[in-house]
Amino acid sequence: MYLPRNLISHLYAQLQKNYHLTSPPVLILVSLDPDALCACRILTALFKRDYIQHKIEPISGYGDLTAAGEKHVQPMRTTNGGSGGIVVCLGVGGLVDLEAILGLEADEEGNGGMGDVEIWVVDARRPWNLSNVFGMQSLGAIGAEGELVARVPGVQQGRITESYRAGRGGIVVFDDGDIVEQLGPQRDAYCALAEMPELGEDDEDLESTVFDSDNEEERVPDSGQEQRKRKSNSDAEDSDSEADEGTPRKKRRSNSSSSIDSTPERPARRGLLSTSLDDSDALVRSDSPPSVVPSSPRNNQPSARALRRQLLRLRRKHDAIIQAYQNLGQSYSEPISAMMYSLASELGREDNDLLWHAIVGVTSLELSGRTMNGIGLSAVSTSGTTSSWNRDRGEQIRSVLRDEVRRLNPTDLRDIAREASIGDSSGIIQTHARGPTDNSIRLSPEPRFLLIRHWSLYDSMLHSPYLSAKLRIWNDAGKRRLHKLLAKMGVSLTQCKQSYTHMDMELKRGLRERLLRFAPQYGLEALIPPQVSRGMGGKEGWGFVRCWGWKACLSAMDVGVIVGAILEVGDMDAKLSSSGNTSFPQHNHSSGNNTPRNPEETASNATDLQSAEQARGAVVLKRFWTAYDALGKVQDLTKHIITAQHLHRAILRTGTSLLEKKQIRHLRSFRLAVVKEGPDVQLFSHPGALVKLALWVAEAITETESSRGRKGGELVVAGLDENRGVYVVVGLGGGADVVARKEKEQKRQTRRKAKADKKEAKKADRECRRHLKRERMEANGVEFDSEAESEDESEEDSESEASSDEEEEEEEEERERGKGLNRFGIAFSEAVEETGARVRQDSFEHCVVEVKKEDLLGFLEALSQKAVVG
């Protein structure tokens, strides 16, 4: 089931109304990323205000999700002696069948099942698992009088309506608009497959015949009628074999829908198709000769075999639609922190704290490279504009957040006079509050520097990924360009290498104006936001800054960097012990053979595996709660600024080493970099830190190759974890395709507008000619009826042509939909199937895997032959 965006507060309002002190606490499963943590902060704040008990469980991967299902979710079921309840998944489980991975499936005897456990899924990852969105609970059933009725009251083809009442259990997906706008064909195909009868053994044999016949072009005589084909004895035998009532029917999984998360369960004997097949079996069982049955002169009904062939073609068509959607590749939609703030806004509970968490969550996506094309370079990095992480949609979300900042933080009259006297072009970066009680959020023309309030200007510019790539800071020539830029701006090295808060005030006041003047000379047009805001609601590209009195003043980008560093590095004194795991763990959700090849090795490492998993779980749990508390305590944020600086120094050192030593290889489908030595190698055994390093390297490569006229930013980076004997591998999609897709979309919109204008002009011309003709004919005393009918027919023809053009455009958009998406997750699975490499695919990011050290070479060779971008 899915909850439309306009009913986002519907389920929460029912929970708020029906919850009491004896109700079970709400279980919240949270993934380990800043966006999910911010969403969790917003949701728990709502629960606390409504006195709703809740429990938070950190989830690092599918293994933890399965364990949470066994430990926490399954005991909640009424069938297991529990009292039901609600489980909220924040950034968890959107890509897999949650009913299966949490162990909530019913057995053959009907035991188990959901047991009044309702699961709310809020996830930004795409594609959706269609079993969660259009599951069996939302499909129709045959009523007493043969009519199609809803299985769950208030649910229509998976869509929850206002009449829906919670408490019966099920999986509810929170829709941010994608399901309603984009998944219409997938919904129809999924529901049609669920209503179809199951196939028997003979139908499986017939499917191969249908597949071969569909590949051949049907021959039609000149008369336009199909040639009649006499039924052969083999066909009669097939029909007779189908008439055997004692033959059991087997559940079959279609070849085009082999994944468990895409093919729905298909109940037998449902709908008109099932009835037709049963009636046709009765015809075959008659005593008439086989050649007489299908050719009755009075009854022109199709034969049983023809009905089955038609059913198989329809089934394969729907399977292809679903499978094409599942094979699009991973991408991202609206941040879940923004979704949770929308929920708070619908409930009338928004305030500065919740707004700040939403801003930090949205901002953090750009740092982790999560875009509409999957993990890769964002549009802001490749296009050189001030558009946000998700192009137009992301900028629309930021525009709403800017409006919320203005609404909840009105500017004081004295500040208005002060800003008018100074002017926005001064570009002073706010480093302190305006009073001891100042906790407001403000818009600020933030340059694309890293931690500038807590670093020197030189270090902030040096560690900025955007600036490093544009100036090629990894070599001596790039550093000279940086020094020359500072010299043209009139900033000495002595001034810029001291703390920014202690710089000369005149330099800080004129910093933005000098950057606007000299940055374009070095190709740094997107280094700072535009100088002139567009209207009263402008300031596009401006950042967000919040103060906590005299304690601290941080930007949203600063908080996102710090929280991410806490999750990826941990405390500075324990950064080297973050991966105390000394063996290769196993989980149920994996690709390929992830077990040790020697059974004796399994027995000898059993104890080490258990202790290593416990140590790893303790480290993950500590990092999660440290980051969670830091979002609510500014003292913890400022304490971990040094952690963020340490991580980005390591990224600069390691990335520079890879480029200077020319350790980036060009393979057939992507570029490859392996981090297996150096002082920071253990730091990049964490997937999040490795993704940030890969983004830094990919941006540098893209900037270098674009100057040579080359395209494509697909990159694979592997980081060695010597303690566990594995390589952490991450695959980044190309960012250059984002710009091409945006240009193509603009051309499509221009073409569509031109067609609409042409249609309106043609219609106006037709009306004018019709009016003149009517006046002329009425003046001559001739009726106008026949001419009006002909004009109506021509108008209908033009409308049909316009509709056909629209259909062609929709088909083109559907074909373009999957292009440019990150398909590394699918390519990883295909490479594992070919090589048999020991690979663990436990991360929610399917483009991140762990490969045994000995199997890396063969795995990469097979991967280089795959299509890694759609």
Q: How many CA atoms lie within 13 A of 677 on its CB side?
A: 4
Instruction: Tell me which amino acid residue 503 is.
Output: M
Residue 822 near residue 374 (C-beta atoms within 8 A): yes
Instruction: Tell me which amino acid residue 703 is.
Output: E
Chain centroid to CA 506: how far? 45
Residues 203, 205, 206, 210, CA torsion sign: positive
Q: How far is CA 68 from CA 45, 63, 101, 615, 628, in A?
A: 23, 9, 10, 17, 20
What pLDDT score does 266 carry?
41
What pLDDT score does 430 carry?
85
Place of tokens 């066909």: 235
Phi, psi of 405 (to 5 degrees): -65, -45
One DSSP character per residue, 518-576 reads HGGGGT-GGGS--SS--STT--TT-EEEEE-TTS-EEEHHHHHHHHHHHHHH--GGGGG
Residues of the chain with pLDDT under 50: 140, 142, 146-148, 211, 215-298, 381-388, 423-425, 534-536, 574-600, 602-603, 736-739, 799-800, 802-803
Residue 856 near residue 774 (C-beta atoms within 8 A): no
Q: Is 740 helix (H, G, I), strand (E, B) or coil?
A: helix
Phi, psi of 251 (to 5 degrees): -75, 130
What pLDDT score does 208 carry?
55
| Beta bridge partner(s), residue 849 | 729
Q: Are strands 148-150 and 140-142 parallel, antiparallel or unpaired?
A: antiparallel
| Max CA distance (Å), the chain | 106
One DSSP character per residue, 469-502 reads HHHTTTSHHHHHHHHHHHHHHT--HHHHTSBGGG
Q: b/e map of 317-343 (b: 16 or more CB within 10 Å)?
A: ebbebbbbbbebbbbbbbbbbbbbbbb
Instruction: Give dist(CA 851, CA 860) in Å, integer.
Output: 10
Q: b/e map of 780-805 (b: 16 or more CB within 10 Å)?
A: eeeeeeeeeeebeeeeeeeeeeeeee
Task: Give the strands of the sheet with 553-555, arranged side by side.
Answer: 441-444, 543-547, 553-555
Q: Are strands 170-174 and 159-160 parallel, antiparallel or unpaired?
A: unpaired
Cis peptide before 75 (omega within 30 of 0): no
User: pTM for this one?
Assistant: 0.79
Strands (E), 46-111: 54-59, 85-90
- Among 176, 155, 178, which residue's Cα sits nearest to residue 166? 155
- Among 837, 842, 830, 815, which residue's Cα sits nearest to residue 868? 830
| Beta bridge partner(s), residue 2 | 159, 173
Instruction: Give dist(CA 44, CA 41) in Å, integer.
Output: 5
What pLDDT score does 428 carry?
78
Angle (nearest 5°) at CA 554 between 551 and 555: 165
Q: Report, in this order, helix, strand and coil percent for the chain, each rounded to 5.
A: 55, 10, 35
In tens, the pLDDT along 275-302 reads 333 443 433 334 444 444 444 444 566 7
Kind and range of the H or E element at 149? Answer: strand 148-150
Query: With 0-12 CB in 10 A as exposed, 13-18 as middle and 19+ as buried, what is 704?
Result: middle
* CB < 8 Å & 24+ apart, contacts of 517-524: 518/485, 518/488, 518/489, 519/485, 521/488, 522/470, 522/471, 522/481, 522/485, 523/384, 523/470, 524/466, 524/467, 524/470, 524/471
- Measure the N-to-C terminal CA separation of the chain; round to a whole number of Å: 28
Q: Is 273 helix (H, G, I), strand (E, B) or coil?
A: helix
Q: Is 848 helix (H, G, I), strand (E, B) or coil?
A: strand
Instruction: Give dist(CA 831, CA 540) in Å, integer.
Output: 44
Residue 440 near residue 546 (C-beta atoms within 8 A): yes
List Cβ neighbours of 39 (8 Å cut-off, separation of 6 or more): 30, 90, 91, 122, 335, 336, 337, 339, 340, 357, 361
Place of tokens 């280089």: 864
Q: How far is CA 354 from CA 41, 42, 337, 340, 557, in A?
A: 8, 6, 9, 9, 16
Phi, psi of 848 (to 5 degrees): -125, 125
Instruction: Give dist(CA 620, CA 612) in Å, integer.
Output: 12
Place of tokens 């949470």: 68
Instruction: Give dist(CA 369, CA 373) in Å, integer.
Output: 10
Instruction: Give dist(CA 373, CA 393) in Å, integer.
Output: 13
Instruction: Give dist(CA 132, CA 261) in Å, integer.
Output: 9
What pLDDT score does 691 carry?
94
What pLDDT score does 745 carry?
63
Instruction: Give dist(CA 545, CA 551) in Å, integer.
Output: 14
Residue count of the chain: 870
List Cβ neighbours of 534 (8 Å cut-off, separation of 6 or more): 540
Residue 684 near residue 657 (C-beta atoms within 8 A): no
**747: its two tokens:** 């051309």
Q: Is 113 helix (H, G, I), strand (E, B) or coil?
A: coil
One DSSP character per residue, 417-444 reads HHHHHH-GGG-PPP-S-SSTT---EEEE
Q: Is 349 helix (H, G, I), strand (E, B) or coil?
A: coil
CATH class of 2-179: alpha beta
Residue 429 near residue 508 (C-beta atoms within 8 A): yes
**116: its two tokens:** 């009044």
Q: How far is CA 638 from CA 173, 631, 783, in A?
A: 36, 11, 86
Residue spans per domain, the chain: 2-179, 351-564, 578-734+823-863, 738-817
